[in-house]
Chains A and B, each alone.
Chain A
Amino acid sequence: MKPELKFVDVIAQQQRRHKRKNDLACFEHTFRSEVTSVYPLTEMETIYRIQIIDPEERKRFRFIPGQFLMLELPGIGEAPFSISSSPSIHGEVELCIRKAGNLTNYLAKVGRGAIVGIRGPFGTGFPMEEMHGQNILLIAGGLGLAPLRSPIAYAQENRSHFREVNIIYGTKSPANLLFTYQYDMWSRDDINLHIIVEKADPSWKGAVGLSTDILMKILSGRSDDFYHNTYAIVCGPPVMFKFVCKMLNTFHIPMQKMFVSLERRMHCGMGKCCRCNVGSTYTCIKGPVFDYWTVMNLKEAI
């Protein structure tokens, strides 16, 4: 026998496995997808509807609210974005993207019909089913409404499963408000929508202040039953969720019932590149959705 090593083909080896997360081929697997609609929301944010091209892949694609995708434009870049649409629609997602740098600026030039790549879904989501039978507080600040739009859609579609549903949405100014066209629809399904801006302009007739102002109003004077049976989902800049969560905590809403979504730099989405680590926890795997207790225990999270 010749003492010669045989080449081991890992691709052939992994064919035997079926669990996607252990499948070697899923690492760089990209769903070729088409941008089916582009709708500008504000000067900075645009909503992109993206559909997986292959019908089989489309059928199999599932996600839970709170999860994110890696969106790729070959040669330009790849970046993580929260899925901003209803989990009941398969193989088609909406991403609300703010112009922030290389990829996102380039995306702003891409029109309907462009072919992009998506990988995912990745990360943890909001435990919507666990919340059944409970009150929910959906609190967003600024672009935080993007990840929140998916649980809102879920709450809307499954309205009967929840008790009281409150959405609190705050932005800097009326011009920054996202998804204005959907507000009526949200209110219609017995969802209390509260909108507040930090700085009004002459046309603004709504509330002015911080989202904590509204939260205070909603929470004050409620019964212990309310506090004990309420879940909160908080999305927004770190300063905002820090204050909101602190307030929720003073009303004794359990920290494990408050959920936040963290944003970090990400290059893989699969717990390999380490760029998203908080302390030494992978935001892409253990997060981006964390309960507040966990966040409190993470070094350098906020």
Chain B
Amino acid sequence: MKTKESDTKTYLGMPLYRPKVGFFEFSSCEGCQLQIVNNESTLLDFLSLVEVVSFREAMTEKSDDYEIAFIEGSITRDDEVKRLKRIRKNAKILVALGSCACFGGVNQLKNRFKNLNWVKKEVYGRHPVDTEPVRAVEDVVKVDLKIYGCPVKKEEVEKSVLHIALGKSIEIPKYPVCMECKANENICLFDLGELCLGPVTRAGCNSWCPNSRAGCWGCRGPADDANVEYMKKIMKEKGFSEEAILERLECFGGFADFLKRKK
């Protein structure tokens, strides 16, 4: 959609940059894109900041003329690698949108099995299917910005886009979810006898899960300087099984480096 009038938008007298954006999905549930369509109350303001030129889930027109490419999903097949590389060439800014794009998301759980053939057989029997170990977007091309979460928080996406339009830097919290959880005055999940990765997971979701009295599963990956090793020890001391702790840490792929380091 092209509109001329908003090309003259300004902030504090400074002309605003109205980027052309494209949304592209790879192996994923498409939920992160949906989060953007799901922001009924702010959708119009959001759309006036950018020019959406490609968004297959919502529109028929498409174009290769975009400056920001939002990549949703992880990379699991060769044709995806090719498509992703082409998008990287066209885009000035490539954004990894959501946990799948940032770390492989739940999809990378299949990487647990050393034998990909077993995985294929479990689902498709003897029928041949094409698949590779799941990779995060940055394992294939350079990523300029990561927006974490499964799903992403629409406020974070909006803020990032606004900041690009304004020319303001984008800051994501470096501290863990606990900080937000306490600010929301939740009862700590550990007091309720439940597991929670809030102490090591990057904040920014406004402690979405603990607000619902559900422990954090670490979908946003580790906070800067996350003390994962000691947290594991704490969880074990609180009576949680090694397995349950591992299942959590490996669920969204964000803590893969910490799990590898241990082996």
Q: Do chains A and B touch in the complex (CB under 8 A)?
A: yes
Query: Footprint of B on A, CB under 8 Å?
Result: 73-77, 101-102, 105-106, 109-110, 113-115
- What chain A residues lie within 8 Å of B168 (beta carbons)? 76-77, 102, 106
Cβ contacts A to B, 26 pairs, < 8 Å: A73-B12, A74-B12, A75-B11, A75-B12, A75-B166, A76-B12, A76-B166, A76-B168, A77-B168, A101-B169, A102-B168, A102-B169, A102-B171, A105-B167, A105-B169, A106-B166, A106-B167, A106-B168, A109-B14, A109-B167, A110-B12, A110-B14, A113-B13, A114-B12, A114-B13, A115-B12
Q: Which residue of chain B is the closest to A76 with respect to CB atoms?
A: B168
Interface size on B, residues (CB 8 A): 9
Chain B, residues 154-188, CB within 8 Å of chain A (1/0): the string is 00000000000011110100000000000000000
Q: Output the least CB separation between B168 and chain A (Å).
A: 6
How many pairs, one residue from A and one from B, have CB atoms within 8 Å of each other in the complex? 26
Chain A facing B: main interface SS: loop
Chain B, residues 179-203, CB within 8 Å of chain A (1/0): the string is 0000000000000000000000000
Chain B facing A: main interface SS: loop
- What chain A residues lie within 8 Å of B12 (beta carbons)? 73-76, 110, 114-115
Of the listed residues A76, A110, A113, the one surrounded by the most CB atoms of chain B closer than 10 A to its CB is: A76
Q: Output the least CB separation between B162 and chain A (Å).
A: 10
Q: Output the least CB separation between A95 and chain B (Å).
A: 18
- What chain B residues lie within 8 Å of A113 (beta carbons)? 13
Q: List CB contacts (< 8 Å) of B114-154 with chain A.
A: none
Instruction: Give the docked Cα–Cα distance between A183 and B237 (Å).
Output: 67
Instruction: Give the docked Cα–Cα distance between A105 and B163 (Å).
Output: 13
Chain B, residues 4-20, CB within 8 Å of chain A (1/0): the string is 00000001111000000
Chain B, residues 198-240, CB within 8 Å of chain A (1/0): the string is 0000000000000000000000000000000000000000000
Instruction: Give the docked Cα–Cα distance between A102 and B168 (Å).
Output: 6
- What chain B residues lie within 8 Å of A115 (beta carbons)? 12
Instruction: Give the docked Cα–Cα distance between A74 and B13 (Å).
Output: 12
Q: Which residue of chain B is the closest to A101 with respect to CB atoms?
A: B169
- In the A-B complex, list the 3 residue pairs whose CB atoms are closest, starting with the nearest: A102-B169, A76-B168, A102-B168
Q: Output the least CB separation between B172 and chain A (Å).
A: 13
Instruction: Give the docked Cα–Cα distance between A105 and B14 (Å).
Output: 13
Can you name 16 extra interface pairs (CB under 8 A) apart from A73-B12, A102-B171, A109-B167? A74-B12, A75-B12, A76-B12, A76-B166, A77-B168, A102-B168, A102-B169, A105-B167, A105-B169, A106-B166, A106-B168, A109-B14, A110-B14, A113-B13, A114-B12, A115-B12
Instruction: Give the docked Cα–Cα distance between A134 and B138 (Å).
Output: 61
Instruction: Give the docked Cα–Cα distance between A113 and B167 (Å).
Output: 19
- What chain B residues lie within 8 Å of A110 (beta carbons)? 12, 14
Q: Output the least CB separation between A290 and chain B (Å).
A: 29
